[in-house]
Structure formats: C-alpha cells, structure tokens
C-alpha cells in the first residue's frame, strides 16, 4: 500500500460556519435540558444519554492485531493485543420496548492502551442520510425540545418544526444507497444485535491520514432475536467464541471517499484488516458490575492521531461533552 498517494488530514475538514456554530450552541442547550429530564422521559433511576440511551449488553474482549500491518499503522497500534470493552445499544434516545423501533443498533468499542482509552462508536448502518450540518442540528434540537420542554405549547411548536425539517431532508435522503441499505436492514430486523456488521460512518484520523472502520462478525451467530438482546448475545457466546474482523478503509480520493458527505459509502478505498476482536463465553458482564449507563465512549478523548474528522463528526464533540457532564452532575 502506497501511503504517499493517500489524502492527508487537514483541520479545515472540521470547520463549521458561523450559522452552524450558533445552531450548535442551541443544540448543546437542548441536550443539557433533555438529560436533566431524562429520568422522567425514559422512566429510569438515572440520567440517560441523549442518544443510544438503551444499553443491551457490555462485553469484555481482546483485539488481536494483524502481524503485517503497514508501518504507519503499526506505529500507532504497536501491540499484538489490546483489552477492549464493547457496548451494544439502541440508537434511539428514548427507552422503549425493542420491537417498537427499527433495528438501529450501536456497537461502541473502547480499546485500552497504556492508560489511554481509544473509543470508536459504530452503528449497523453504513451511511448517514442528512448531508446538511445545519439540518442535523435543527432536527436534533427540535426533537429534544419536543420531548423535554416545560410547556405543552413549546413541545407542540418544537414538534411542528421537527416535522418540517424532517420533510425538508427527505428528497436528499432518498438515494439508491439509502434505500438499498434500509431494505437490507429491515430484512434482518429479527437478527440478534451481535450478528450485524457495524460501521464508523464518520471519518477518523489514522495518524496523518484518514480512515473509516468496519467490524464484521467472522463467525455466523444465531440470527433470531428472542426480543431480549441480552439473552440473544448469551446464546451466541454459549455456542463458542465470537469474532469480529476490524477493517480499515483509507481515504485516497475525496471524490470516491468524501470526508464531509456521510450519505455516500466509500468505494475503491485502499483497505486492510487491522485485527480481530474476540469475545469468549465469559465476555458478557452483568450490568451491575459495569454501570453501562455511566460508561463514556467519547472518541474526542482519543489521542490526536485517532480523533474524529469532519463537520458532522466534529460537532458531536460539544454534544458529547454536554451529555457526559450533565449526566455526571445529575448523579
């Protein structure tokens, strides 16, 4: 692999306009308001996250890196194996019975390295349907206000704006890739969360370069979800070890591998297998031993060479910080 031909990271990929920054401030305020009221909203004894509020399982495992990694990658992933913590969750901010939602799941990976924690939140859908940063912020802000505002009038007004903004992005979201992946997801709606492939969707640094990640189960796991993801994951692990191949795609061409258009799947990207994540029968941990709702998988705590890249990725920094600090203040 010729790293000289790859696109290098530049801070300009993270730049937001003044209008987007103003909306980001409003979004942060809405996140704080939601989290403060999340106990009542989600009927939980603790403050929940503003996304992926519902944790299914937490597993401990190992990442075994490949022997033949490129030198530029081996300089970062310099060990043969790492301890990892993985959280399976539902993408919705509202905690409800699983069968009431689309099968939109998250697999957040935390890698432990010499006192550092490297976090990579992945989801089981390879693209993000909204191209406009401002629209993302408006929809997120309107949703939070619609479920957490103090008065019925404010909630109704926010709901109206939410619906208006959702309708406005429908035309751009109806791409062939979006429709194709939605159909694939719906056909697998009864599958256990541990059986899906997971994607970073957004871009991360790999040293001086930029990458996307994909975690693919390399062993067939039980396809049927019993309605209880915890028991489904227990069933998968009871039949033997479960492995995920962790694949890296590198950005070599901004036209085929755009950084700030997450509605496009990368194509013709140079790729390699970083390593294999392994879960054994003893990997599944009781939530009473690991308080999953308090565990942070914040990729902005990664070292600089593994930080998120891109406008939509970067605006999540203030959102993560607001959610984490408010949850801790509410303990």
Taking phi over 0 as left and psi of -120 to 50 as alpha, with beta for the rest, 104 belongs to beta
Q: Is 163:143 a contact under the CB 8 Å cutoff?
A: no
Q: Is the dihedral of CA 136, 139, 144, 150 positive or negative?
A: positive
* % of the chain exceeding 70 in pLDDT: 92
pLDDT tens by residue, 58-68: 889 999 999 99
Higher pLDDT, 321 or 285: 321
First to last CA, the chain: 49
Write b or e for each residue in 313-331: b if 16 or more Cβ atoms lie within 10 A of its Cβ, otherwise e: bbbbbbbbebbbebbeeee
CB-hemisphere CA count at 13 Å for 180? 8
Q: In this model, does residue 99 exceed pLDDT 80? A: no
pLDDT tens by residue, 241-262: 888 999 999 999 999 999 999 9
pLDDT tens by residue, 126-170: 999 898 999 999 999 999 999 888 888 888 999 999 899 899 888
Average pLDDT of every residue of the chain: 87
Cα–chain-centroid distance for residue 108? 6
Helix locations, the chain, DSSP H: 18-36, 38-42, 71-74, 133-148, 152-173, 176-187, 229-238, 311-329
In this prediction, residue 223 carries a pLDDT of 57
Higher pLDDT, 137 or 238: 137
Q: Is 280:83 a contact under the CB 8 Å cutoff?
A: no
Q: Is 105:97 a contact under the CB 8 Å cutoff?
A: no
In this prediction, residue 226 carries a pLDDT of 60
Residue whose C-alpha is closest to residue 222's, from 197, 195, 203 = 195
Task: Name the pLDDT band for 269 (thresholds 50, 70, 90).
Answer: very high
Structure tokens at 18: 């003044």
Global pTM?
0.90
Task: Name the pLDDT band for 90 (thresholds 50, 70, 90).
Answer: confident
Separation of alpha carbons 100 and 85, rounded Å: 28
Separation of alpha carbons 102 and 80, rounded Å: 37
Cα–chain-centroid distance for residue 221? 22
In this prediction, residue 289 carries a pLDDT of 44
How distant, in Å, are the alpha carbons of 5, 68, 79, 208 from that of 76?
20, 14, 9, 11
DSSP 8-state class, residue 284? E
Higher pLDDT, 76 or 115: 76
In this prediction, residue 125 carries a pLDDT of 93
Q: In this model, does residue 101 exceed pLDDT 60? A: yes
Q: In this model, does residue 288 exceed pLDDT 60? A: no
In this prediction, residue 177 carries a pLDDT of 87
Q: Which residue has the tokens 């619609």?
A: 146
Q: Is 251:6 a contact under the CB 8 Å cutoff?
A: yes
Among 41-55, 196-210, 241-255, the least confident range: 41-55
In this prediction, residue 106 carries a pLDDT of 92
Separation of alpha carbons 188 and 207, rounded Å: 36
How many other CB atoms sit within 10 Å of the CB of residue 149?
19
Separation of alpha carbons 58 and 287, rounded Å: 7
């Amino acid at each position: 692999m010729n790293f000289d031909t790859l696109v290098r990271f530049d801070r300009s990929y993270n730049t937001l306009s003044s209008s987007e920054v103003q909306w980001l401030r409003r979004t942060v305020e809405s996140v704080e308001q939601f989290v403060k009221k999340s106990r009542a909203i989600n009927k939980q004894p603790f403050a929940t996250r503003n996304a992926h509020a519902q944790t299914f399982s937490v597993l401990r495992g190992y990442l075994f890196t490949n022997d033949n990694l490129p030198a530029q990658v081996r300089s970062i992933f310099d060990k043969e194996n790492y301890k990892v913590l993985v959280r399976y969750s539902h993408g919705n901010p509202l905690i409800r019975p699983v069968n009431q939602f689309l099968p939109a799941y998250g697999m957040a990976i935390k890698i432990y390295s010499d006192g550092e924690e490297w976090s990579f939140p992945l989801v089981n859908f390879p693209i993000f349907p909204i191209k406009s940063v401002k629209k993302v912020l408006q929809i997120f802000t309107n949703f939070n206000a619609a479920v957490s505002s103090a008065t019925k009038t404010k909630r109704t007004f926010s709901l109206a704006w939410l619906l208006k903004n959702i309708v406005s992005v429908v035309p751009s979201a109806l791409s062939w890739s979006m429709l194709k992946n939605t159909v694939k997801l719906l056909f697998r709606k009864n599958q256990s969360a541990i059986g899906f492939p997971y994607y970073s969707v957004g871009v991360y640094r790999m040293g001086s370069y930029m990458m996307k990640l994909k975690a693919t189960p390399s062993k067939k796991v039980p396809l049927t979800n019993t309605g209880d993801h915890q028991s489904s994951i227990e069933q998968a692990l009871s039949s033997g070890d479960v492995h995920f191949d962790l694949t890296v795609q590198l950005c070599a061409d901004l036209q085929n591998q755009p950084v700030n258009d997450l509605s496009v799947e990368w194509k013709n990207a140079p790729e390699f297998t970083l390593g294999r994540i392994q879960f054994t029968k003893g990997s599944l941990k009781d939530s009473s031993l690991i308080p999953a709702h308090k565990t942070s998988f914040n990729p902005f705590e990664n070292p600089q060479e593994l930080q998120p890249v891109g406008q939509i990725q970067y605006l999540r920094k203030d959102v993560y910080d607001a959610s984490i600090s408010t949850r801790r203040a509410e303990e």
